[in-house]
Amino acid sequence: MNTIITEEFLRRIPKTDIHLHLDGSLRLPTLIELARQQRVKLPSTTTDGLCRLVFKERYADLTEYLRGFAYTCAVMRDPESLERIACELAEDNLAEGVRYIEVRFAPQLHAHEKLTSEQVLRAVSRGLERAQRAHNRSAAVRRGEDVPFHFGIIVCALRFFTPAMSAYYQQLFHVMSYAPAKQVFATASTELARAAVSLVRDQGLPIVGFDLAGAEAGFPADDHRGAFQYCHSHFLKKTIHAGEAYGPESIFRAITDCYANRIGHGTWLFAHTMIKDPSITNREGYCNQLAEYIASQRITLEVCLTSNTQTHPQMRHLPSHPLRQMLDHDLSISLCTDNRLVSHTTLTNELLQAVRQSKMTQRALRNVALAGFKGSFFPGTYREKRHFVRQVIDCYDAVS
């Protein structure tokens, strides 16, 4: 391939986004409109004002980064809004050549006395299906000039939450008022895991994976081992936010204790100075062995460049990101947006940054672009997934 890697080329190639938070990826005009309808008070009622005050290109720290979710979640409390937000998210991805997405969110965060977690999931699925039908009926797809669009839903359990975060969490804390907090967190995870497995098995909802998100320090993944064991025993795939705000040990625990098939972020995989276990004396060796294991098992890393530079003070500039080191270790890497709104980014932008900062070759770009399809939790049979990946490869090579 001799094609110069331009932004236009990156927009045209088929892409995936397999680490994509629904509540961090709303359209700003939609947020403003829904807030007005639902009488949710925003710091500003203009897109420019919200970009200046809340959804910035640079944040002081993780706390400021997370501030915007209070406003997005506040308007995601009825089926119609959830369906619209999901449909628009799929449309935005389709517009820039993304042909497979896995949308993740915590349904328990949006549930209340008039809306169950199941109803939340159904509304999001309907919205994604609307966009899927419109694209897959297009003349280009029918003629074989474009690949069809597919999606999956990943349900997120939270390492930590408070009663104020949703009516569901408030009720759970009330019922378990005498239990330690970490037992409450684990119970919510297990209940979500059981619901997800049931909805896939009995009702065919396109839930393809189970995730654990939230603060890593002080809230280890193995506290939620029961939920992940349940998913593992019922063939529901697992991805875990790990190595985003904690060291390599968090990634190790996600894989060994919770059977993670993929890792969300994995940013500090090689950060041997962040290892806290005193029994690990050869820290660099530990990181290298962990990286070798991840590479050999083809455990895909969901890398979110912009998000990482916004939430880590020690990584304000992209050259500080270990992407180049990940590529040099032949890791399976899929570039993702994390939060399109909160991070002010698109999948095309993430790829463009990677190409420029890591001096990525055309061959490496092809590998990274296809890794998301190959590492996806595709909502179909393995044979159907192979056929879809073959379609994607043919389309990619035709563009090139």
Residue positions annotated with a catalytic role: 244
- Collapsing DSSP to helix, strand or coil, 199 comes out as helix
Spatial distance between the Cα atoms of 287 and 362, rounded to a whole number of angstroms: 28
Structure tokens at 70: 């209070």
Edge-first strand order for the sheet with 333-335 is: 15-21, 98-105, 150-158, 207-213, 237-242, 262-265, 300-303, 333-335
Residues for the chain: how many in total?
400
Helices (H) and strands (E) in the chain, counts: 19, 8
Task: Name the residue type at position 364.
Answer: A
Spatial distance between the Cα atoms of 231 and 194, rounded to a whole number of angstroms: 8
Spatial distance between the Cα atoms of 377 and 375, rounded to a whole number of angstroms: 7
Q: Which of 347, 345, 342, 344 is nearest to 72 (CA)?
A: 342
Q: Please spell the DSSP secondary structure of 138-175, one letter per residue.
A: SHHHHTTSSPPPEEEEEEEEES---GGG-HHHHHHHHH
Task: Give me the half-sphere count of Cα atoms (radius 13 Å) on the Cβ side of residue 55.
Answer: 30
> Which residues does 272 contact at the CB level (< 8 Å), separation at least 6?
248, 283, 284, 286, 287
